[in-house]
Structure 1
């Protein structure tokens, strides 16, 4: 049944029979037949019928919960037996919000040095996509904001975000030692796009100061933001760890912002499964221990 549940999960992820079949490396008729066989085994209809995928039936929604659990456990079992045969090896998928990529890179490097037989994939994703990827078994670990994200997941706190203005070294604010949110709001800024949790936080900090930022450019890439600071003379606001990482050697100034009213903790998340897959358990332990 596990192989049919894998087909079912792929269909739910892709929301398209053809794309799901391609993802699994099977033909579309084979995928459709597998879903029908699963429905026959369970005695219920899982997928709303139609020429295209139109979503799940109520029974399908319930089976989805069980499918994620059963497939996750089956994969963890295979991974543990592989470790018993070959030692710590295999593939590990880590997703991180853009502002936490330096932390992700540092953790991946430390883990990779200790376990060279493990192939690591590090992805940049939004907080929403990270949580969905953990739930859908598309990723093994995520680095994101821990605010309200820990239910049903294990966590390892990493650091609290603090923010800096990054501006040209000859900019009007470059000589300042510290800046307030109200005065920075009047500057021409380039910021992350509104779908990013970091942008939500910045907007709340500006709102607490009674201001709306003067956005000139938005991007989901911090590399693009830094290019705008260097090449166009704009300013951006980034967490200190990221600002120091990507601004090295560039003609910019990094100026601390006044502490906001609320702090936000960045941490490592994993599905709350017992036992954990061996690679996930080893990564959490090296990062500081499962929470």
Structure 2
């Protein structure tokens, strides 16, 4: 058994396809398959369910996969610690972000790069559940989004200031929107909203339903960028979390706070707190805490 075999196993779990896993590992598919069969022979158990294509893992494979992820995380941390002993931090910080969280992390990324030139970043748009799964399986270093308080208690977290909800609109709608609109003031406006099933959309639907109102959007998207671009084009008005850097980049777009109760979930950055957080994650949190402490 060697590190490469464990890496191939974990990559197969991520890609769910032998060909894609082989490409991600920069080897041929026969090489990846052969090394995984060698691992199975050495352990004396079948790990992968094979048919004409990848069909998942056996129960034994799932247990070995969980251990492999832990071992790879420890191996990566060991390499990072050796680099840190030499006075440098290197590697790629893997971030999973809920697109609608509107987090502007550019100051944190820039601050960490100024401190450690060898650090890079991989940013993935993900659901909150997928982020937590990625953290638990060591495929992410940092998560950012809306989380329940009891979830935050299981991680090292950095809560963001409560910023509320804003209505973003172009010049055509300015006369129809009060300075601090309430849900009833938005009746009749063409709305650009998050897709149903997303937490923020569920929150909006619930708050409007309490006032006997139903949201009937002209456009839905899971991307704040797309919502704001359509607002800028004059298609309608968007209900989005406050705080997006996009608000300052679209000339003519006005944002006004909407009078709504706070969300039950909390906007936060999260990382593991069980001793398996990478040095990259800790370095990222250190910079983020310093920046937000000064706000």
Q: TM-score, normalised by structure 2?
A: 0.87
Tell me the equivalent position of 2:198.
196
What is the 5 A alignment of 1:167-206?
A: 167-171=169-173, 174-206=176-208
Tell me the equivalent position of 1:210.
212
1:235 to 234, 237, 242: 237
What is the 5 A alignment of 1:133-152?
A: 133-147=134-148, 149-150=151-152, 152=154
**Cα distance in 1 between the residues matched to 2:55 and 2:264:** 41
Contact 1:161–1:263 (8 Å) recurs in 2: no
Return closer, same or farther for 1:200/1:161 CA change in 2, 3 Å cut-off. Answer: farther
What is the 5 A alignment of 1:1-291?
A: 1-147=2-148, 149-150=151-152, 152-171=154-173, 174-242=176-244, 245-248=246-249, 250-260=251-261, 262-274=263-275, 276-288=277-289
Contact 1:166–1:254 (8 Å) recurs in 2: yes
What is the aligned-residue RMSD (CA, Å)? 2.4
Return closer, same or farther for 1:18/1:40 CA change in 2, 3 Å cut-off. Answer: same
- Aligned residue-pair number: 288
CA deviations on 1:211-233 (whole Å, 9 max, x unpaired) are 22111111222222112112134
**Cα distance in 2 between the residues matched to 1:92 and 1:278:** 9
* Of 103-112 and 146-155, the range deviating more from structure 2: 146-155
Return closer, same or farther for 1:232/1:223 CA change in 2, 3 Å cut-off. Answer: same
Q: TM-score, normalised by structure 1?
A: 0.88
Return closer, same or farther for 1:89/1:262 CA change in 2, 3 Å cut-off. Answer: closer
**Cα distance in 1 between the residues matched to 2:156 and 2:187:** 37
* Of 8-17 and 106-115, the range deviating more from structure 2: 106-115
State the SS of the aligned residue for 2:93. Answer: strand
